[in-house]
Structure 1
């Protein structure tokens, strides 16, 4: 039915390749590409062993737009799933425009030299994709991604007006490492060390990193200290749901993790500006990435589960109502199926579901879109059947 190209061969790319292969009736040809072809070959071999589906591989630098354009024109995919680095989003979008290919990613663009998460750079591509008759779907992981779809589902079915949104993200897993990040360390550390930010009464409110925190009770996990941080889906959600009076994002961190993080910052290893070491220019956080555990290799001994969801208050029939919608994902189950841990799984599965929505004509249209702008129902139905079942509770204690 359709050709799919996956760019990125980390933990998320591993999940995307496995899940896409299980939809070989929809994705009749799959190409996995990254700068390191050997990693693509290893993933392809594992996919074939588990599913019997053979996928092609290629080596390409995602920042080399002419080379990537040539590969896209040669393979001619219907859609690209970009699970490479966020710095590379605009390069991949440029190549897709040049080759006439539709686009989907899981994280918004950020400049390499500034820890800044904004959609403005990608939203600026709206007219280019409209003029080309192509679709670009932004932020189709879990958060961002499913959290936006959860919000759209609540707005469609249960509320006349959404006023308060709290996205809560808990990883209660244990990988047995003294310190490791669950996705690319460079991106992860940049994300969680920046100032907090949330939306309230029509403006952004800024906080110091991890300044605001409180216990939140997660299903099947219990209470965990949760920290207010900024996360990119807040930017699109307050735009697309203008009735929001407040929107916040909370994430759990263990004390050992926070201690390591403070040390990393205090000794300058979180710096993103280059320094000279023995006559060679290096970026400290990139060097740190090289010595930390590879997130793609954490899955084998990972126990426990994640819990991510949306707690929402708003008006329905003139009365204030509360609503909670969430998913819990087992690290062990994710590893058994794909060889990757739960954080990679919860990001990769929604990306494949989003691509399915596109090729089935359910999420489609010229331009650039965030996921909450599409119909949430078919996506959530497919998400549950693809390994991420969701649950809901009405008028319970939202805590926040």
Structure 2
């Protein structure tokens, strides 16, 4: 059993994670929040105390930390006696924080794949470029490292594992659909770090089709679906983290990720990109100043955390899975709908951050309880999905199921027994 959580980061996802950790400190123990900007951590602590979110009296502390400094991170882990570390900050930090966790022997969780700030859209599978290179060391040292434990990646991986393990005999395709049907009222903004957000859409769109990597351009391929609650939406084929692990860990020939964009977003993005303002490469101004265009755009756009008070509407994220069950072609939709205003009322955050932060704390709770303390590096689909999905429903993100029997609330009893033989699932861990 592991106790005491160190949350690295003080943005929207970290804020949700900190609030939720406080609400479950009877399971998680002491809660520590660390970031380069001490004032942001202190503001998070003050907000949690103001809402009286702590389930029981306990330590809730703020710390200043440059998480790129591995030795400083290791020292903070030891000083706070943290046994679970959640990187809810920039994905540029993943490998530094992971190294600190491996060296101190504590559990590691992140919510997105590692990125090198000097590179955009590397060769697939992306996890193979960084995180998976540390798998052998994690297993040798017995270190639990759970990769991509947000919603997408994260919960959608668990949905895929649920379909593969306990529903289908054979899966032909998994289409992950992410739609934000809410509105923040600003002319233009991104829902999380603009630098990370734009980098997703300026490179090659990689998808897994017919058991091979397929390249497309952003906004080249689209589809329209009639979705529960949010209605009909057009989404675009997009490169995303979970495709790179699911394609290796599940025996599925077609895995794609689709994200919804409004015409206004596409128009503004296209102009910025065409003008070179989304480039991560430095340029020199007429005055001799060296600037990175993408960082300038980030600086002038609204802080994603500032959007929360005015956000209204809902989000939809789910897996549309097609395959064969009992000899019959079958379709299954596993999904969640979250509400921006409800997320703000509970955690002072919008639903985009809420859907990423809550699953990370669910993963931490399962590690603390021992259910997910696997002593090796894994992606979420390699872990038992039912306890995770069930716990999510209890702490704020309920799952629904839609198939030929209708649309219903997820019931763990329905998926209690494994359907697919273990040998049908190719795990990269070799187990």
TM range (shorter): over 0.9
CA-to-aligned-CA distance 1:172-204 (integer Å, 9 cap, x gap)? 110001110001000001112322221111211
Q: Which residue of 1 aligns with 2:294?
A: 285
Matched, 1:272 2:259: no
Whether the 8 Å CA contact 2:28–2:364 is kept in 1: the answer is no
Deviation at 1:262, TM superposition (A): 0.7
Matched, 1:259 2:267: yes
Query: Which has the larger displacement, 91-100 or 376-385?
Result: 91-100
Q: Which residue of 2 aligns with 1:217?
A: 226
**Paired residues for 1:56-205 under 5 Å:** 56-116=61-121, 118-120=126-128, 121-205=130-214
Give unmatched runs, 5+ long, in structure 2: 407-431
Deviation at 1:396, TM superposition (A): 8.3
Q: Which residue of 2 aligns with 1:38?
A: 39
The alignment's TM-score, normalised by the length of structure 2, stands at 0.90
Q: Which residue of 2 aligns with 1:50?
A: 51
Q: Which residue of 2 aligns with 1:306?
A: 315
Equivalent-residue separation in structure 2 for 1:280 and 1:369 (angstroms): 44
Equivalent-residue separation in structure 1 for 2:279 and 2:187 (angstroms): 21
Deviation at 1:341, TM superposition (A): 0.3
Q: Which residue of 1 aligns with 2:413?
A: none
Deviation at 1:49, TM superposition (A): 1.2
Whether the 8 Å CA contact 2:19–2:53 is kept in 1: the answer is no
Deviation at 1:214, TM superposition (A): 2.3
Matched, 1:379 2:388: yes
Whether the 8 Å CA contact 2:177–2:319 is kept in 1: the answer is yes
Equivalent-residue separation in structure 2 for 1:74 and 1:171 (angstroms): 40
Whether the 8 Å CA contact 1:22–1:51 is kept in 2: the answer is no
Equivalent-residue separation in structure 2 for 1:289 and 1:126 (angstroms): 34
3-state SS of 1:125 partner: helix
Equivalent-residue separation in structure 1 for 2:53 and 2:401 (angstroms): 36
Whether the 8 Å CA contact 1:308–1:328 is kept in 2: the answer is yes
Equivalent-residue separation in structure 2 for 1:395 and 1:282 (angstroms): 55
Q: 1:296 aligns with which of 305, 311, 314?
A: 305
Deviation at 1:139, TM superposition (A): 0.3
Deviation at 1:100, TM superposition (A): 2.0
3-state SS of 1:290 partner: helix
Whether the 8 Å CA contact 1:11–1:344 is kept in 2: the answer is yes
Equivalent-residue separation in structure 1 for 2:145 and 2:90 (angstroms): 17
Whether the 8 Å CA contact 1:313–1:321 is kept in 2: the answer is yes
3-state SS of 1:193 partner: coil
Whether the 8 Å CA contact 2:23–2:53 is kept in 1: the answer is no
Deviation at 1:356, TM superposition (A): 0.6
Matched, 1:19 2:24: no
The alignment's TM-score, normalised by the length of structure 1, stands at 0.96
Query: Which has the larger displacement, 111-120 or 294-303?
Result: 111-120
Equivalent-residue separation in structure 2 for 1:238 and 1:198 (angstroms): 9
CA-to-aligned-CA distance 1:190-232 (integer Å, 9 cap, x gap)? 1123222211112111111110112222211111111011111
